[in-house]
Structure 1
């Protein structure tokens, strides 16, 4: 499997890798020659579906890539109930999985459980395993930010009422079966699709 980092910016992937197997009609740039302001502008263009950044040293270039951003760490959960349904939240007109910021000194797994509980009004979560880490780059108040989200698979036997954390903009919380999940994934973020 190809070693790489996949960062979404404007819902389009920036793939940093040492070996490009296929271009997928993505533009290819040498990592050392990239200008991050121009890259961001390029990804706003509708004709661009994504870019590859060809790296000569993935570990070093990933560190250099992150230096262009204020890095924000978050943690969240893909939660299964006893019927194998998955917990979703609805926020900003999109279906999403519950997640939130890691507090200073907090362990990732602890933060993930806390955020799911807070956003969904749920209890009795147990972590099954660690899932993929996702990356999302965006501009906020003219500052480039990179959100790194650590995901955990969780399970629960909770059957009480789910309560959306409305002060966080969440308007709905529910467990979805496989058919409903397919529909939700048509109105979600690319990073969430990676977890399915």
Structure 2
């Protein structure tokens, strides 16, 4: 099966793929030979299209090249369920999000995922489950193009914890949602979070980038 990776820039997506997308009319093609994330970052933001793709022989190797060309920050977080199978979401930067944060020096990915979720939501993770997926998004920090790679895990929480948002991290709300009642999340979240929810089969009608 052909490999695919998605890199997000705000609401826009760059698809790294080993085969042409099925719905090419939705995509703007970028030449793999001249691809430079530092150069095309502002071009993509200014472009009218929301979807872009790069056709490459080895998508994993191409992603590695991109990582070597920019600053990479690794983060970890989780999709938490409680005993009632409700899902935990945070509200930050005017959007619904999942708790996550940067991996600290000397910390494993799993340790970071649990710590960040507990700190941002004031809960105790009772069980760390399997990895859901990895997501990638790009932003500018200190005039540098940064690629953030985030590892996502399944998690469980027991007891009726009193949720408390970590306000110093810009979080203004923490809330449990029923799996069938996340329309508000889907209407106002980041594309990378949509990817996590899609992997967990929580999205019925997947948007174009998820059905290339």
TM-score by length of 2: 0.87
1:123 matched to 2:124? The reply is: yes
1:75-110 CA distances to partner (integer Å, 9 max, x unpaired)?
001000111110011111111000001111211111
Gaps of 5+ in 2: 198-212
Gaps of 5+ in 1: none
Superposed, which structure 2 residues align to 1:29-68 within 5 Å?
29-45=30-46, 47-68=48-69
Provide the secondary structure at the position in 1 that maps to 2:127: strand
Distance 1:75 1:91 in 2: 16
Q: Counterparts of 2:61 and 2:109 in 1: how far apart (Å)?
A: 24
| SS of match in other structure, 2:163 | coil
Q: Which range moved further: 133-142 or 31-40?
A: 31-40
Distance 2:126 2:102 in 1: 18
Match of 2:135 in 1: 134
For residues 90 and 58 of structure 1, the distance between their equivalents in structure 2, rounded to whole angstroms, comes to 33
Query: 1:11 maps to which residue?
Result: 11
Deviation at 1:24, TM superposition (A): 4.6
CA distance in 2, matches of 1:127, 1:171: 25
- RMSD in angstroms over aligned alpha carbons? 1.5
8 Å CA contact 1:89–1:173 kept in 2: the answer is yes
What is the TM-score when the length of structure 1 is the normalising length? 0.93
8 Å CA contact 2:38, 2:70 repeated in 1: no
Q: How many residues align?
A: 196
